[in-house]
Structure 1
Amino acid sequence: MTAMKTNAFAQKAKAVGLWLFEFSLGGRMFCCCLPNRVGVIIGSFLHIIIPALLASIIWFEIATERDMMFSKSERLQFIFAGLLETLLTIAAIIGFAGAITRKLLFVLIYGGALYFNFAVMLGVISYFLWMINHATEEDLRVACQQTIRNTQAQGQCSSVLNTLRGVLIGVGILLLLIELWGAFMVTHYARQLRGDKSRKRVARISKLAQDRLPLLHSRLSSAETTENGGAAEPSPYFDNDKEFNPYDDLGCRSPLPLPDTPSRLTSAMPSPRSLSPFSVAQNPSLISHEAAAGLAVPSSVGTVSEQDSSYDRASHQSHTSSERHVTFAI
């Protein structure tokens, strides 16, 4: 009973896993109603606008750092953030062009940039959330006392900061999920483009084979015509009336019966060397067949046949004369 329950649970888990795979990476739709191509176009357009604005603000702050006092580490952090947003903007432009033109390479570049950006965001947000969670109540109280002089307002400040901490944690997790969702969508569309490309390649090869099939038959026919010196004869290993099957094994096909050509008829006749006096004596028609086939007949064979015919005439005359003598005696 326990084994049956375990098997049933395993089958249900497998079904759920397959459903999740089809939901995330299967089919031509993403999230049940959004086509993959439309989702990639919208996502890449948003990644062009938002990172471009962020990169502009960051580079502007770096260029006007005389108004703000930056330490060396803070300046390096701003430069890294500006480079990251600039590269993400360029990758989004490439991905947008790839989604419009259905270019697989451009979509793959955009997807790789999204995964890299997700990894960086995961590290930054994780560090930021760690800093927020490790801030003690004493730190919040000191911060409120330094900024607010009113005692009643200081208590409200602490509660507001606690609420703000929860909001920041939720926003960070939401940003990570949105970034991961966009990366999955691009991967889904790249998988779809790869499948479409493979199907088009197979269809193109099949069409090319069908177009070249009549040319192959014509070449075979012309080759047979040249060899035979006249009309093309059917090949013993190819049936022209049968449709061509590329998966048919020619080695397993039985050859068709060969036609009766003059060479075969000639080879069927006995050769002059095979003629013997005894065979000619038993079947004199062999000489006529040899003469009709244009073959030379040995003189010995002709002499033997003439001797046999003269012997037959002499025996016939002696038999007739003996019959006459018997009749006269009677």
Structure 2
Amino acid sequence: MGRVRSRKFCCCLPVRFGVFCSSLIGIVAGGFFSIVLWIEVHKISTGQILLSAPTNIVIWIAAFSFTFMLFDALLGMIGCLFRFRRFVNGYAASLVFDTLFNISIGSFFLFQLFHQDGADEVTKCVDGTTGDVGDVKNWACQKGFDVLRIVVVVLFVILWLFEIAGCFIVYDYVGQLRDEQEAEQALSMPQQQIAVSAPYPATTYRTPTYGGPGDMEAGKSPYTFTAPANAYGSI
């Protein structure tokens, strides 16, 4: 393999290590959240929990998304460990698609989260407490719900930033693999050119000339019937 300078991210870390970490995080996160979400999908399908139609749709789509992330990360891990450029290319393209998809789904989820007052959640939190204690608990539950929404926003933003950074790192590693392939081809190019452009052994062809008694002295084969002894009319 040709010698190519390893590309870095965060000033000193090789991009191959970044792809390994990105795919490892994708395997862990994708596996965990896909299991959790598919359990929720099962509960929704069997009627164990009742949610609004938009929330059900989000859960279904998120379950497929994290399952796709799991298999995509496995593809990236194999490509990173064995330097399979096609696998890393597929992982890079899938990671971009998955990032855009997660941003879309997360934005829709945040929209739903901030456009509902959380009355049901607050009521469950208060749990029938009345009087002054109920008012205090209601205030605490309402404030807790507001803080929860802010925390969810921060977590989503951090996740999106990590995914965007991962896209740049993976594509940088794709460029490094391309440079290594070109360097390897450049090293093998001179040998191929020598094998193709090597001159064939020179072969000298002599065109025989005929006609005259001087041909014998010149070391050339004369035409038989031009000799004086074989001439027409000779005895």
Q: Give the TM-score of the pair, scaled to structure 1.
A: 0.53
8 Å Cα contact 2:58/2:109 also seen in 1: no
1:1-330 equivalence runs, <5 A:
28-64=7-43, 65-66=45-46, 68-70=48-50, 73=53, 75-135=56-116, 139=117, 144=122, 147-148=125-126, 149=129, 150-212=134-196, 216-217=198-199, 219=200, 222=201, 224-227=202-205
Aligned residues: 204
Aligned-partner Cα distance in 2 for 1:112–1:85: 16
Q: Structure 1 pair 164/189, CA: closer, same or farther in 2 (3 Å)? A: same
Consecutive unaligned residues of structure 2, counting only runs of 5 or more, are 210-216, 220-235
SS at match of 1:227: coil
Q: Structure 1 pair 169/102, CA: closer, same or farther in 2 (3 Å)? A: same
> For the aligned residues, what is the CA RMSD?
3.5
8 Å Cα contact 1:141/1:154 also seen in 2: no
8 Å Cα contact 2:38/2:63 also seen in 1: yes
Cα distance, 1:66 vs structure 2: 2.6
8 Å Cα contact 2:65/2:102 also seen in 1: no
SS at match of 2:203: helix
SS at match of 2:79: helix
Aligned-partner Cα distance in 2 for 1:72–1:142: 12
Q: Structure 1 pair 158/228, CA: closer, same or farther in 2 (3 Å)? A: same
Aligned-partner Cα distance in 2 for 1:130–1:62: 21
Q: Structure 1 pair 42/134, CA: closer, same or farther in 2 (3 Å)? A: same
8 Å Cα contact 1:140/1:161 also seen in 2: yes
Cα distance, 1:46 vs structure 2: 1.9
**Bigger share in helix:** 1
Consecutive unaligned residues of structure 1, counting only runs of 5 or more, are 1-25, 230-262, 264-291, 295-330
Aligned-partner Cα distance in 2 for 1:50–1:99: 18
Letter in 1 for 2:71: I
8 Å Cα contact 2:96/2:167 also seen in 1: yes
Letter in 2 for 1:28: R
Structure of higher RCO (CA pairs closer than 8 Å, 6+ residues apart):
2
Aligned-partner Cα distance in 2 for 1:166–1:92: 29
Aligned-partner Cα distance in 2 for 1:142–1:54: 25
Q: Structure 1 pair 35/57, CA: closer, same or farther in 2 (3 Å)? A: same
Aligned-partner Cα distance in 2 for 1:106–1:226: 56
Cα distance, 1:84 vs structure 2: 2.0
Aligned-partner Cα distance in 1 for 2:148–2:52: 29
Q: Structure 1 pair 131/67, CA: closer, same or farther in 2 (3 Å)? A: closer
Q: Structure 1 pair 71/94, CA: closer, same or farther in 2 (3 Å)? A: same
Cα distance, 1:91 vs structure 2: 1.5
SS at match of 1:225: coil
Structure exhibiting the larger radius of gyration computed from Cα positions: 1
Cα distance, 1:159 vs structure 2: 2.9
Aligned-partner Cα distance in 2 for 1:167–1:79: 23
Q: In the TM superposition, what whole-angstrom CA distance separates every residue of 1:162-202 from its partner, at most 9, and x where no partner exists?
A: 33232222111111101111111111111111121122112
